């Protein structure tokens, strides 16, 4: 580990074999990191609201009745694995000379993200069918402010990934594409961290 080079920004550092990207990446990624930290504040406050409203159920259903542990478990695995496949895409970007593996890992990440969203939308629909929509109680308003906001972030990550794949096909892996992939990587891994907190405190904490 002692030979490891210094890191100029969060996330994977492309290093000296990508000189034209490495020169710009420090400042751009710091800016994106500021955005992510402000996004973390938004999620943090929605978590606090959820915690404060957890018992404000107005006679409506609670977590024990509404959450499905199996679905939460598969969603967690899909998102965790998608973080790993994005990591492999980052390595293919940094060390690979061809586009194939990079695009392959990005497509795998998109599929896992899509699976996550598919299951999550199923969860929300089943809650709505039980009459447990955001209008039912303060607890459910807080739930539907927090969890679907994370889902929307995942959806925007998938749209962003699609745009980057199209850019790779159209322009090749140029500097702009590399900088985009570095930022998307931070975004995607950040969303996984938010999900860790959601599955632990909302789902597991609610069912405990």
Site string for another protein, 146-185 (x = CB under 8 A): ----------------------------------------
Place of tokens 């409203």: 53
CA dihedral 107, 89, 117, 70 (to 10 degrees): 110
Q: What is the DSSP letter of 5?
A: P
The dihedrals phi and psi of 3, each to the nearest 5 degrees, come to: -80, -5
Q: Which residues contact 180 (CB under 8 A, 6 or more apart)?
A: 160, 164, 167
Is position 192 an interface residue for another protein (rule: CB under 8 A)?
Answer: yes
Is position 83 an interface residue for another protein (rule: CB under 8 A)?
Answer: yes
Say whether 73 sits in a helix, a strand or coil: helix
Binding another protein (rule: CB under 8 A), the pick from 13, 25, 109, 137 is: 13
User: Can you give the binding site for another protein, defined by CB under 8 A?
Assistant: 1, 3-13, 15-18, 26, 30, 33-34, 37-38, 40-41, 44-45, 47-49, 51-53, 55-56, 69, 73, 76-77, 80-81, 83-84, 87-88, 91-92, 94-98, 101, 186, 189-190, 192-193, 196-197, 199-201, 204-205, 207-208
């Amino acid at each position: 580990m002692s030979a490891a080079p210094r890191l100029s920004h969060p996330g994977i550092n492309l290093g000296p074999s990508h000189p034209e990207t490495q020169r710009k990446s420090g400042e751009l990624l710091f800016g994106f990191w500021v955005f992510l930290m402000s996004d973390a504040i938004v999620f943090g406050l929605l978590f606090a609201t959820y915690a404060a409203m957890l018992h404000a159920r107005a006679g409506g259903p609670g977590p024990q009745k509404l959450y499905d542990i199996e679905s939460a478990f598969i969603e967690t695995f899909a998102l965790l694995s998608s973080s790993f496949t994005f990591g492999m895409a980052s390595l293919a970007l940094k060390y690979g000379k061809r586009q194939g593996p990079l695009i392959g890992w990005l497509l795998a990440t998109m599929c896992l993200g899509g699976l996550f969203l598919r299951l999550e939308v199923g969860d929300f629909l089943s809650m709505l069918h039980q009459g447990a929509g955001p209008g039912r109680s303060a607890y459910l308003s807080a739930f539907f402010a927090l969890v679907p906001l994370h889902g929307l972030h995942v959806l925007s990550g998938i749209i962003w990934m699609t745009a980057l794949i199209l850019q790779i096909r159209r322009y090749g892996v140029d500097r702009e594409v590399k900088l985009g992939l570095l930022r998307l990587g931070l975004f995607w891994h950040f969303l996984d961290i938010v999900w860790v907190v959601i599955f632990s405190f909302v789902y597991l904490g609610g069912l405990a």
